[in-house]
Amino acid sequence: MKSLFTAILDGLTFKDIAGKRQPRAYTVLTGLVLVLLFVLASCVALERSAMLDEVQGTPETVQITVEPSATFEPTPVAEACPTDPADWSFLDTQPGSNLKRIEPVCVHDNLAKAVAWALAVREGYTRAEATQALGFAEMPLRRLSEVTILTDTQGPLPMQVSFTPTHPDFAEWRVDGDGKPALAYALRGCFRASTVVGNQTRLWNQDYPVICTLSEDSSGTQIVFSLDGHIATSEARPTRSFVLFGYAGDGQWDWLGTQKEPKVGLEILKSPANEAAASAGVNKEVVWNAAWLEQTFGLGMQSLPQNWQSARNDTDRQAILDALNTFMQEARP
């Protein structure tokens, strides 16, 4: 063991002339390296200890207030439908026809509401009930004997029209043999009630600057009338007629009456329902019928009176006609 120690000691030191042991050069160098390593290790240990103290210390709540940035989100605004006919466009639908399609199509919305009134009073609603249900201040119709229309070949011509009775309590139904509603309207087109000659515009209808023509297909075979407790049922021929609606301004359309001519039996038409749908489609509309009335305005057909099919008494029919005539005479301006 002593010889091992002596060998290690001789490897690290040597004896000088005086016999004293001196460290060898590499021993001194190795010692310096070890001292430096110890110092570095101590510094690392101290830094790590300080970092742990900071991380594991008691957390502090930091409140950061951020000023909200001003953001602008534009609110979509629905563009109002123009009510001045001067702002409407009248577009061709068929070559050579004076019946035009109105743009924008939103103009038809108020027209459709007036047509809904015409449908409702043919589905058992009294004139007063239909007026109230659809939110009109008064009946959307005008009692006229003739209306000047624009023909395709002869220019403006007066056309005789008939109008529906205006008695507020009068009710009627246009139905088929099973009592189902059987009336449909299709927009054929519209025209301005004026003619441009040179640089002048000639107005030939001051009250209604725009008039629209609709086909009225009554496919039912029965008409039921009710007034003042009297009920009368009459036979009817399925017929296509043409009705006129005039624009009174501020979005208001009035039913001006039904043209007395032409009237066509539906049985001679090849496919009246398809043709009506095509005509409405050209004007970007649908056929206005009982299903549309119920879906759009929630107005289903009123119940038919009991025993309506056998209500053929001439006395009741005459009583209804007399009451309507009396009212018309008293209401005539």
Instruction: Write the pLDDT tens digit of every residue in 222-239.
Output: 999 999 999 999 999 999
Q: For residue 100, tell me if it sits in a domain.
A: yes
H helices within 191-313, ranges in order?
A: 272-282, 290-297
Read off the pLDDT of residues 126-163 as tens digits, 9 standing for 90 and up: 999 999 999 999 999 999 999 999 998 888 999 999 98
CB 113, CB 134: distance < 8 Å: yes
Q: For residue 316, tell me if it sits in a domain.
A: yes
Q: For residue 208, tell me if it sits in a domain.
A: yes
For residues 136 and 215, membership in a common domain is answered with: yes
Stated pTM of the model: 0.76
Q: What's the pLDDT at 61?
A: 44
Q: For residue 80, tell me if it sits in a domain.
A: no
Q: For residue 75, tell me if it sits in a domain.
A: no
Q: What's the pLDDT at 62?
A: 40
Give the pLDDT band (50/70/90) at residue 74.
low
Higher pLDDT, 35 or 219: 219
H helices within the chain, ranges in order?
A: 2-12, 25-55, 108-120, 127-133, 272-282, 290-297, 314-331
The percent of residues in the chain predicted with pLDDT above 90, rounded, is 68
Q: Which of 15-19, 97-101, 314-318, 324-328 shows the lowest per-residue confidence on average (mean pLDDT)?
A: 15-19
Task: Give the total number of structural domains in the chain.
Answer: 2
Q: Distance between the two ends of the chain, CA-based, in angstroms?
A: 147
Q: For residue 294, tell me if it sits in a domain.
A: yes
CB 245, CB 212: distance < 8 Å: yes
Q: What's the pLDDT at 199?
A: 72
For residues 8 and 117, membership in a common domain is answered with: no
Q: What's the pLDDT at 331?
A: 76
Containing structural domain, residue 32: 2-45
pLDDT at 67 over 60: no
For residues 41 and 97, membership in a common domain is answered with: no
For residues 136 and 224, membership in a common domain is answered with: yes
For residues 37 and 93, membership in a common domain is answered with: no
Q: In this structure, what DSSP letter does residue 311 have? A: -
Task: Mark which of 45, 61, 78 sits at the end of a domain.
Answer: 45
pLDDT at 10 over 70: no
For residues 247 and 134, membership in a common domain is answered with: yes
For residues 27 and 119, membership in a common domain is answered with: no
For residues 101 and 238, membership in a common domain is answered with: yes
The Cβ-side half-sphere exposure at 68, using a 13 Å CA radius, reads 3
For residues 147 and 279, membership in a common domain is answered with: yes
For residues 121 and 18, membership in a common domain is answered with: no
For residues 171 and 230, membership in a common domain is answered with: yes
Q: For residue 78, tell me if it sits in a domain.
A: no
Mean pLDDT of the chain: 86
Q: What's the whole-number mean pLDDT along residues 246-250? A: 96
pLDDT at 43 over 90: no
For residues 41 and 108, membership in a common domain is answered with: no
Give the pLDDT band (50/70/90) at residue 203.
confident
Q: For residue 82, tell me if it sits in a domain.
A: no
pLDDT at 22 over 60: yes
Q: What's the pLDDT at 282?
A: 97
